Structure 1
Amino acid sequence: MNADLRNLSLDERIRLVEDLWDSIASDRNTLPLTPDQQAELDQRLDAYEADGHPGRPAEDVIAEIRKRL
């Protein structure tokens, strides 16, 4: 690990990682998908459209999981 980073507090390092991640996320459109990634997305979309079932709302799934805990 870079010695300068070790001098930062844990809170400062976490904030640095968050800022770095935010900068990556804001540039996500500049990173094109690989052909394999695009093929996988196409396959999943085709399967979803063929199934015809929209799934369940996330809130319902989360509530069900919380009941089990």
Structure 2
Amino acid sequence: MKNKKSFLIAFALVGLSLLPMTVQAQLPGFMDDVDDETPAAPIDGFISLAILMGGIIGYRKLKDDKTQH
């Protein structure tokens, strides 16, 4: 009984996952009051500093891991 129930649940999940589904996050197009010409949040100079700091931290962690083994 348990095997049959598990099989039916698995079969239903596989069957439902194979059905084509169309999902849209919002209606197509923009409202009239939306300014889509200017970027919402410009990327400033701190992103390069964050990438540099992330690289330094990652390098130190890799270096520490190799010395411990």
Tell me: higher relative CO, structure 1 or 2? Use CA pairs within 8 A at least 6 residues apart.
1
TM-score, normalisation: structure 1 = 0.29
TM-score, normalisation: structure 2 = 0.29
